[in-house]
Structure 1
Amino acid sequence: MSGIETVASGIGALSGYVYPEVLVETAWVAEHLNTSAVRLIEADEDVLLYEIGHIPGAVKLNWHVDVQDKITRDFIDQQGFEQLMSRWGITNTTTVVFYGDRNNWYACYAFWLFTLYGHKRLKIMNGGRLKWEAERREMTRDVPHFECTSYTAQQADETIRAFHGTVWPGLRNSERRLIDVRSPQEYSGELLHMQEYPQEGAQRGGHIPGARNIPWSVALNADATFKCVEELRQIYLGQDITPDKDVITYCRIGERSALTWFVLAKLLGFPRVRNYDGSWTEWGNMVRAPIEK
């Protein structure tokens, strides 16, 4: 294991997380700003934040442009992912560190997508932009440029991704757990359209039958860092979300549920966790799809 993969991340084995290496602290990132084997990627819900200022050396991942297929409602394919990595100067051995706004929603979404295509050295900066800015650390408007690389991705590993065709037949499966990570108002159907996200609308409100409502935010502290392992276990095991179950997370478009996927799969080490990225934008608009309120 290389020096940049060790407990110098500031998390360490004492955290109790099953895979503590997937988190790094802001101090670790500050120490590795000039490390060529590390690439920082900012993934924000507010795509204009990067231009206002970002961590030196970080590249911008725009979810509306960089990782969306222009024809199908899907992500870029294996070749498109390889081209993106090459453009950002990333090799198969580069350590990629994600961070962003909104308590790392999209950073975790990016982590999940990169996992889908088999990149091994992936990390989340604990606390995201919020913590970096609160500590008054260095920011810049300079856009970095890197020499293109040759990158090889694996075929998409869809064992960590759920589709409606797998969710629907399993609604009566007692060994499966669905987690709706949205707000209680969205879960109940009281809130149908979120005014700030008109593109994520659905014709019906409610939730998938049998889904437990465990909002994504319960896994985080006030400073946007992840809660300790004991608190996380109490949250999820208390709702009968246990490692022996087949767990599927969802929200509206998959970004908030990717954070919960990250917590369960990487911090708690659950072996069978999938993110249903079609989420309520798909389910709430699907003909005859069963719902509960």
Structure 2
Amino acid sequence: MLSGMTYRISSVIILSVFVFSCNKQRDKTFPKSELEVSSYASSDHLIEAEELLKVYRQKHLKIIDFRKATAYAEKHIDGALNIWRTDIEDTSYPYKGMMANKEKLEALFRKLGIKNDDLLIVYDDKGSADASRLWWVLKNYNFESVRILNGGLKAWETIEGAMNDKLVPIISSEFILPVMSSLDLLIEKDEMIEMVNSNRKKIILDTRSQDEFTGKRQKNGAARAGRIPNSVLIDWAEAIEYEGTQKFKTYNELEKIYNRLGASKNDLIISYCHSGVRSAHTTFVLTELLGYNNVKNYDGSWVEWSYFKNLPFEQDSITKLN
């Protein structure tokens, strides 16, 4: 019992001292989160509210409130900066939601005063779907210094962490993303078309709701309702305590959910949703928490696929627009 307690105390001390004294980009050198440290495949990009409370005023830490500006203005974690989906979107496409290029992200981070040696703690109030999108975008550009606040704003409120509606003073920075992008977790339209039309072994995973999957519901932004051919459905929200803590479920619970895919940890899994946000969350769950090695998130997702009338799709139901 004493050794376990000593370990837990030590992990918090290491997080406080080591993370914030390091002046190079922090990636795989981060200590693991206390949460499920002996269970999740990796907790390197996850942090508990209790851990954040001990260190959130540290100099080389930036807390990112990934919600709409109106929600941020009402209340946010003390000292948090605000970023929303449109800030990290490439608006040159005729449809919305595509990942911003390197230059736009660098300009955004410079404007917000984010530095290369900062550790970013990202949260939202929707079960970490939006926070996962930012993690996924930055990981594609080889920026690893990101942790998702498990349970988001709800977890912070539960421990009575400091909140206010004040704007944070900002001094612009000289932020630069790594020279080489990885794009290991990205699949784009042309490759997606090739995958759909090939006999290559893969699983196309639709992470939307049942109504979206069947075609009963057509969300705003989509040109039609339905799904990519041969998709299987696992709603992204199954991976979290959606009606409760909004935290990620345990390793064993997640394994049970995604074992329904019948995939090995090395099989190719391509996730998609409406615009690549919920599927980024599933990508985080599969790669980080469960240790799958070959997962791609289709950035354009259904918004892009449905835009092109020549692309095949499947539909089971009469559509309701909304």
- Do the two structures share a fold, i.e. TM-score over 0.5? yes
Number of the residue aligned with 2:185: 160
Deviations 1:198-217 (A, max 9, x none): 3x2322x2211111100001
**1:183-194 equivalence runs, <5 A:** 183-193=209-219
Deviations 1:174-203 (A, max 9, x none): 42111100111110111123xxxx3x2322
**1:78-89 equivalence runs, <5 A:** 78-89=102-113
CA contact (8 A) 2:50 2:159 kept: no
1:68: how far off? 2.3
Write the letter of the residue equivalent to 1:269: G
CA contact (8 A) 1:11 1:21 kept: no
Number of the residue aligned with 1:261: 283
CA contact (8 A) 1:236 1:242 kept: no
**1:9-20 equivalence runs, <5 A:** 9-11=33-35, 13-14=37-38, 16-20=39-43
Mapped pair 1:68 → 2:95: no
Write the letter of the residue equivalent to 1:287: K
Question: For the residues of structure 1 that align with 2:145 and 2:70, how far apart are their CA atoms?
Answer: 27
Number of the residue aligned with 2:45: 22
- Secondary structure of the residue aligned to 1:152 is coil
Query: Which stretches of structure 1, 4 residues or more, deviate above 6 A after TM superposition?
Result: none
- Secondary structure of the residue aligned to 1:103 is coil
CA contact (8 A) 1:182 1:214 kept: yes
1:71: how far off? 3.2
Number of the residue aligned with 2:18: 3
Write the letter of the residue equivalent to 2:37: A
Q: Which structure 1 segments of 5+ residues have no match?
A: none
CA contact (8 A) 1:180 1:214 kept: yes
After TM superposition, the score normalised by the length of structure 2 is 0.82
Match among 241, 249, 255 for residue 263 of structure 2: 241
Q: Which structure 2 segments of 5+ residues have no match?
A: 1-13, 20-29, 316-322
Question: For the residues of structure 1 that align with 2:306 and 2:107, how far apart are their CA atoms?
Answer: 34
Higher radius of gyration, 1 or 2:
2
**1:143-292 equivalence runs, <5 A:** 143-154=167-178, 155-171=180-196, 172-193=198-219, 198=220, 200-203=221-224, 205-221=225-241, 222-292=244-314
CA contact (8 A) 1:178 1:247 kept: yes
Question: For the residues of structure 1 that align with 2:92 and 2:212, how far apart are their CA atoms?
Answer: 29
CA contact (8 A) 1:12 1:21 kept: no
Deviations 1:130-156 (A, max 9, x none): 222344332111111233222221344
After TM superposition, the score normalised by the length of structure 1 is 0.90
- Secondary structure of the residue aligned to 1:238 is helix
1:92: how far off? 2.2
Write the letter of the residue equivalent to 1:180: D
Write the letter of the residue equivalent to 2:175: Y
CA contact (8 A) 1:160 1:275 kept: yes
Question: For the residues of structure 1 that align with 2:287 and 2:144, how far apart are their CA atoms?
Answer: 15
- Secondary structure of the residue aligned to 1:258 is helix
1:70: how far off? 4.0
